Amino acid sequence: MRYWILLIITMLMVIASPAIAQQDIIEPGTIEEDIQELLIATNAVNLGDQMLDQIFGAYEKMIPDVPAEIWQKTRKEFRTSDFIGRVVPIYSKHFNRKDIRGIISFYKSPIGKKLIDNQGAILKESMAIGMAWGQEVSKKIASDLKSKGYKVPNNL
């Protein structure tokens, strides 16, 4: 069970930040600046913070003997601005500046703002469903393998 929680968290991190390069300086009037505006408009910073809080919350539950001050100190080492800097090149790879300006317009519209307001709850609920589904898949795989005579670790 713990293995699957770690696996899901790791998968989310890999999906969320696949770029290695970090944007050091974003020049005004560039597509990079527009992408940064988009990420701010969509509350990507808040979602990054929520993601970090969930990751640290999971680790705190799995390793309860670590003092809270250690977790707090370690948490401060991670900034969502680092995440944003890594995401900017991904957007610029898939969208041109006109696309980004259009997306910003959408997110500044009433329906775009509604989507932003509900994204955190949607993400949280989706993660819970994803974890439950992952556990079901894991149990089914383990059961199928056991029925075929394979030895399967108990923590799966």
Q: How many folded domains does the chain comprise?
A: 1
Q: Is residue 26 part of a domain?
A: no
Render pLDDT for 63-106 as a digit per residue (tens, 0 to 9). Answer: 999 999 999 999 999 887 787 888 899 999 999 999 999 999 99
pLDDT > 70: what percent of the chain?
A: 81
Domain membership flag for residue 135: yes
Q: Is residue 22 part of a domain?
A: no
Q: What's the pTM value of the predicted model, to 2 decimals?
A: 0.56
Is 23 inside a domain boundary?
no
Place of tokens 């990079």: 32
Query: For 104-113, what is each residue's pLDDT tens digit?
Result: 999 999 999 9
**Residues with Cβ within 8 Å of residue 136, at least 6 apart in sequence:** none
* Range(s) of the domain holding residue 93: 2-13+31-146
Flag whether 88 is in a domain: yes
20 found inside a domain? no
Non-local (6+) Cβ contacts of 21 within 8 A are 86, 89
